[in-house]
């Protein structure tokens, strides 16, 4: 199938498909006219890549276990659990950082409103 057909079948942009190929996640062969030709398995592969991208994984991380996942099932791929744990730790750290920033902003807003009654009055009128 041509790249446009693969794009329509998966919802991935042509640019994304070219990127996946550049990263070694999918492969095509070149037809005599120079067009890329993808196998029917490419649809499943691209959908699998999209799934893992939605989990927040990078294409580099995905490339470490994609062949295993495509050949068997996720539960049988030993390479995937460390990636999941690393990603979960990153997310937990981001949540902690964002919570801290949120708390600091809330404290700052409270301080400014206490210091400036006119600002507090204006904010009450906006609600």
The stretch 76-83 carries a mean pLDDT of: 91
The pLDDT of residue 87: 96
Of the pLDDT bands very low, low, confident and very high (cuts 50, 70, 90), residue 122 is confident
Q: Cα torsion at 112, 113, 118, 120 (round to 10°)?
A: 150
pTM of the shown model: 0.80
The stretch 2-30 carries a mean pLDDT of: 96
- Same domain flag for 60 and 108: no
- Same domain flag for 65 and 5: yes
Q: 49, 73, 97 — which closes off a domain? A: 73
- Same domain flag for 29 and 88: no
Q: 57, 73, 89 — which closes off a domain? A: 73
- d(CA 65, CA 49) in angstroms, rounded, equals 11
Residue range(s) defining the domain that contains residue 83: 79-127
Of the pLDDT bands very low, low, confident and very high (cuts 50, 70, 90), residue 75 is confident
- Same domain flag for 102 and 86: yes
- Same domain flag for 64 and 83: no
The stretch 83-108 carries a mean pLDDT of: 97
In this model, does residue 18 exceed pLDDT 80?
yes
- Same domain flag for 101 and 119: yes
* Mean pLDDT (the chain, rounded): 92
Give 30-37's long-range contacts (Cβ < 8 A, gap of 24+).
35/2, 35/3, 36/2, 36/3, 37/1, 37/2
Of the pLDDT bands very low, low, confident and very high (cuts 50, 70, 90), residue 116 is confident
The stretch 89-105 carries a mean pLDDT of: 97
Identify the CATH number of the domain in which residue 49 sits.
1.10.1660.10
- Same domain flag for 3 and 56: yes
- Same domain flag for 43 and 96: no
Residue 72: partners with Cβ closer than 8 Å, 6 or more residues away: none
The stretch 42-67 carries a mean pLDDT of: 96
């Amino acid at each position: 199938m041509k790249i446009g057909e693969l794009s329509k079948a998966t919802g991935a942009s042509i640019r994304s498909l070219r990127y996946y190929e550049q990263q070694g996640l999918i492969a095509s062969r070149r037809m005599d006219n120079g067009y890329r030709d993808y196998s029917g398995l490419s649809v499943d592969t691209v959908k699998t890549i999209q799934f893992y991208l939605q989990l927040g994984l990078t294409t580099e991380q995905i490339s470490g276990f994609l062949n295993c996942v495509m050949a068997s099932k996720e539960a049988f791929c030993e390479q995937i659990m460390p990636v999941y744990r690393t990603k979960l730790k990153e997310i937990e750290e981001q949540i902690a950082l964002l919570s801290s920033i949120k708390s600091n902003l809330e404290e700052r807003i409270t301080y400014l409103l206490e210091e400036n009654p006119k600002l507090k009055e204006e904010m009450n009128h906006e609600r």
